[in-house]
Amino acid sequence: MTAVSYGLLALAFVLGVSWFFWPDNSRWEPAVNSLTLVAGLTGIFVERLTAEAERRTGVLRAVADELQENTRLLSDERFAPRTPTQRQVYPRLVVSAVDLALVSGALSRHRDADLVTLLHRWRDTVHLFNRRLDLTEISTFSNTISPAELAAFHRALTRENSYFAATREMLERLLSRLPNP
């Protein structure tokens, strides 16, 4: 589409120059005007498509960066199985880029249908994961908790079939399915 648009403009320019040197031919004017009009119309579509592609690329790049940041957060030593059991505030996962991607309309309804579904699921997973961290902190920072219960929380969080493991697995899946921006 871009090539057609530029081609039409170049042709109109050549005809315009010819018209300048041989002004007697009365057909130069409609030819130049028609070509310029058609080139202008295709140019509008080209501009729209380019803007959309740029927006999609920007959104995907932001989502990819955010997912990488979440990977780093999940590898935080506070989530490590061998961390000494103690009361602590855990880092939260972020979904602002994913939220923006979903509301921006930058992702194609047809081309990115699977990705949009995955992003919706990821958003829910992160909210539930962060909510679990809230509950864990509320429970572990209470006055009545015993060292055994504190240890049980850390064990429950880091065991193989916990929600933490499921979140990490989903993040890895999403990263592998994310198209290159």
Partner 1 sequence: MTDEPVHVIRKLEQALADDDFAWSLVLTGEDQTDKLATLTGDLRGPFSRTGDGKQITSGFSYWGIGPTIAWANATKDPFYLVMKAGAESFLRHWRRVRPHVDRGGFHFVSLGVGTGVKDRTILSDLYQRNPNMFYIPVDMSSEMLRMGSLEPVRGVGFPTTQVLPVQLDFSIWDNMKELGEMLSRLVGDDPILYTLTGNTLANFESDQEMLATITRALRPQDRLLLEVASTSSLDQAAANAAADEYHQTRAFAEFVTSTLRYNTDLKIDYDRIDFRGEVENNDALRVKIVWHNNTDEPIVMGLPDHTEVVLDPEDTILLYTTRKFSTERLKKLTAECGLTPIEHAHSGFRYTHRPTPFGLDLLLLAPGTAAETINTLADDIWAQ
Footprint of partner 1 (CB under 8 A): 81, 84-85, 132, 135-136, 139, 148-149, 151-157, 159-164, 166
CB of 132 to partner 1, least distance (A): 5
User: Residue 53 or residue 151: which is nearer to partner 1 going by CB?
Assistant: 151
CB of 162 to partner 1, least distance (A): 4
Length of the chain: 181
CB of 153 to partner 1, least distance (A): 4
User: Residue 50 or residue 139: which is nearer to partner 1 going by CB?
Assistant: 139
Contact indicator for 42, 8 with CB cutoff of 8 Å: yes
Among 130, 62, 132, residue whose Cα is nearest residue 99: 62
d(C-alpha 166, C-alpha 161), whole Å: 7
Cα-trace Rg, the chain: 29
User: Residue 78 or residue 159: which is nearer to partner 1 going by CB?
Assistant: 159
User: Residue 76 or residue 99: which is nearer to partner 1 going by CB?
Assistant: 76
Contact indicator for 39, 12 with CB cutoff of 8 Å: yes
CB of 149 to partner 1, least distance (A): 7
d(C-alpha 16, C-alpha 19), whole Å: 5
Tell me how many degrees the CA angle 128-129-130 measures, rounded to the nearest 5: 95
